[in-house]
Amino acid sequence: MSVDRLLFPRPDTDRVSVERVPVGETCPHCASTHVARYPVANHLGPRMVVKCQDCFTHLSVTRPAPEDHWPAWRSPTRDWAPSRLG
Ligand SMILES: [Zn+2]
């Protein structure tokens, strides 16, 4: 956790989007090689997904690692051990 997770500049573009990083895998459903990894916010909370971009089949859904910087507004105390009071 660093300060850049807490203070980030105002976006300088008209639209804000996430980068969909190609992972070089093949979709097991449609055999497409257009598979990408990117952050999402779904009913489980913030997650990193690897999805086929042609048929949207999920190849994996994982919790974000610190290097994923997702979500950007994550609490600075998130990684702290809980106290006996909870
Ligand atoms: Zn597919």
Higher per-residue pLDDT: 71 or 7: 71
Ligand 1: centre distance to CA 41 (Å): 21
Measured distance between the N- and C-terminal CA atoms of the chain, rounded to whole angstroms:
22
Ligand 1: centre distance to CA 65 (Å): 25
Q: What region, left, alpha or beta, does residue 7 occupy, with left being phi > 0 and alpha being psi -120 to 50 degrees?
A: beta
pTM exceeds cut of 0.85? no
Q: Is the peptide bond before 76 cis (omega within 30 degrees of 0)?
A: no
Q: How many domains does the chain have?
A: 1
Which tens digits make up the pLDDT trace of 8-24? 778 899 998 889 999 99
Q: Is the peptide bond before 46 cis (omega within 30 degrees of 0)?
A: no
Ligand 1: centre distance to CA 33 (Å): 8
Give the domain range for residue 58. 20-66
Which tens digits make up the pLDDT trace of 53-72? 999 999 999 999 988 988 87
Which tens digits make up the pLDDT trace of 30-56? 999 999 999 999 898 899 999 999 999
Is residue 44 in a domain? yes
Is residue 9 in a domain? no
